Amino acid sequence: MLTGPAPTVTKARRLRKDMSLPEVLLWQELRKRPGGFKFRRQHPAGPYVLDFACVKARTAVEVDGAGHGMGNAPVHDEVRDEWLANQGYSVVRVAAAEVLKNIEGVVSFVVERCASASPLHQPMAGPPPRAGEDL
């Protein structure tokens, strides 16, 4: 599982208390485990803190406000996305404004991306067959 050093964990704990309105609204929906996917909020990942992470689908969900398009932020986001890709994670970016006006659409989009990123081989449901039984 992807995690971070102690300073990143401390920062993640602080950020959980200071989430933006779009993050809070999205968390209210993601915590219901849509599509059967469990999400973590403000999840430490190396030197970064992910807004939301689905460990099973190895997907990070980032809520981007207006600040993500200004200054050095696009370059920082690109470096971060590349680092996450090297860890085997894909990144789904959603605009904060879109979360505010179409939460259902955003949740559907996130679940769809997680479903497409999930491993092809799922663990077998139920107990294994008894000795001598065919599958």
Find the CATH number of the domain harbouring 63: 3.40.960.10
| 54 occurs within a structural domain | yes
- Strand segments, DSSP code E, in the chain are 40-45, 48-54, 59-64, 90-95
Within a domain: residue 85? yes
Residue 133 lies in a domain: no
Contacts of 64 (CB under 8 A, 6+ apart): 77, 93, 94, 95, 96
* Residue 94 burial (CB count, 10 A): 22
Q: Is residue 39 a part of any domain in this protein?
A: yes
Considering the domain boundaries, does residue 82 fall inside one? Answer: yes
State pTM to two decimals. Answer: 0.81
Q: Which domain holds residue 41?
A: 6-117
pLDDT of residue 130: 74
* Number of structural domains found in the chain: 1
Per-run averaged pLDDT (10 residues), the chain, 135 residues: 86 93 97 96 95 96 78 86 94 95 97 84 63 65
Residue 131 lies in a domain: no
pLDDT tens figures, 82-119: 999 999 999 999 999 999 999 999 999 999 999 998 66
